[in-house]
Amino acid sequence: MQFDEVAPGVYPSLIHPPYQSTRIRGPMQPPLRVKAPVPANDGVQFSPALIGPKDLDLTSHGSSAPLGEKIIVSGRVVDEDGRPVRRSLLEVWQCNAAGRYWHKKDQHDAPLDPNFHGVGKMFTDDDGRYRFVTIKPGPYPWGNHDKAWRPAHIHFSLFGNVLAQRLVTQMYFAGDPLFAFDPIFQSIPDEAARTRLAAHLNMDHTDGGNALGYDFDIVLRGRHATPMGL
């Protein structure tokens, strides 16, 4: 595959002072573009046996249903040519409906839910599609500044088909009023690129009276080079 330069403003500014820890953790030098055929054409081959049914249903990890609003998140993963990214591993993690992560270092004074751990993983199918069941995560405060609250989000980790397609991002919910106040979301200069991180309600993917459906499509980097002479 070939990897074109990413248009300015689409990726976050690595040093975005309103997000305080970027000041000492963001690299100052731009990444060096190199020719390296291996990462552009080869990637990690995960065994399908790694995925079980519970990995696709985050509401199934406890002895009863978790608290919160049950939702179905689905979408399609494609490359820059619009071709499906097939059989690729996708991991998700999130806080519970009250805004608390199942993590020993999360100090937010909101209840843990014994029936919700907030982790899942899956493969895209032959059309690049994925689907999982979860509950809608809550917003939560963090220590970045006074009244710092993260908009509700689900973390996504994608491996793509080749190493250079690797992506970690966050899926938000369209129309969240916290967008304007969140330095992590606002670290992406391009407004359209920010907007593409928001999932949209889709009644066609809603399961009757069971769960609302949200769509979140993902475009990974990379295109297939056109052979010379065609």
Partner 1 sequence: MTSRITSSQTIGPFPHEGWRWAAELSQQGATATTWITIGGVLFDGQGQPVSDGWVEAWSPVAATGEQGRPMPGFRRCATGERGEFRIELGASPQAAPGEPVAWITLFARGLLKHQFCAVFLADAPGLANSELLAQLPAARRDTLIAQRQADGSYRWDIHLQGDRETVFLDFS
Report the Cα 35 to chain-centroid distance in Å.
28
Strand segments, DSSP code E, in 50-205 are 70-78, 89-93, 119-123, 129-135, 140-141, 149-150, 153-158, 167-173, 198-201
Q: How far apart, in whole angstroms, are the C-alpha atoms of residue 37 and residue 47?
A: 24
Q: Which of 85, 92, 148, 211 binds partner 1 (CB under 8 A)?
A: 92
* Contact window for partner 1 (CB under 8 A) among 17-25, 63-71, 173-181, 206-214: 17-25
- Candidate residues 123, 196, 201, 206; the one interacting with partner 1 per rule CB under 8 A: 196
CB of 1 within 8 A of CB of 125?
A: no
Smallest separation (angstroms) from partner 1 to the CB of 23: 8
Report which secondary-structure segment, H or E, holds 215.
strand 212-215
Per-residue binder mask for partner 1 (CB under 8 A), 41-60, x = binder:
-xxxxxx-xx----------
Q: What does each C-alpha distance from 168 to 107, 157, 214, 220 come to in angstroms?
A: 24, 4, 19, 10
Among 126, 147, 175, 192, indicate the residue that binds partner 1 (CB under 8 A): 192
Q: By CB under 8 A, tell whether 187 contacts partner 1.
A: yes
- Verify binding: residue 21, partner 1, rule CB under 8 A: yes
Check residue 78 for interaction with partner 1 (CB under 8 A): yes
Is 127 a binder of partner 1 (CB under 8 A)? Answer: no
35 binds partner 1 (CB under 8 A): yes
Give catalytic status of residue 19 as yes or no.
no
**Is 140 an active-site residue?**
yes
Q: Which of 19, 101, 130, 172 is catalytic?
A: 101
Query: Is 138 an interacting residue with respect to partner 1 (CB under 8 A)?
Result: no
The binder of partner 1 chosen from 110, 122, 167, 212 (CB under 8 A): 167
* Contact status, residue 154 vs residue 170, Cβ threshold 8 Å: yes
Known catalytic residue: 150? yes
Among 67, 119, 122, 201, binds partner 1 (CB under 8 A): 119
Report in angstroms the alpha-carbon separations of 46 from 43, 51, 61, 164: 9, 10, 23, 16
Annotation says 101 is catalytic: yes
The single residue of 19, 140, 172, 214 carrying the catalytic annotation is 140
* Span interacting with partner 1, options 66-74, 122-130, 188-196, 203-211, rule CB under 8 A: 188-196
Contact between 188 and partner 1 (CB under 8 A)? yes
- The pair of structure tokens assigned to 177 is 């009023």
Answer for the pair 25, 17: CB distance below 8 angstroms, yes or no.
no
Element (H, E) at 219: strand 218-219
Residues labelled catalytic:
101, 140, 150, 153, 155
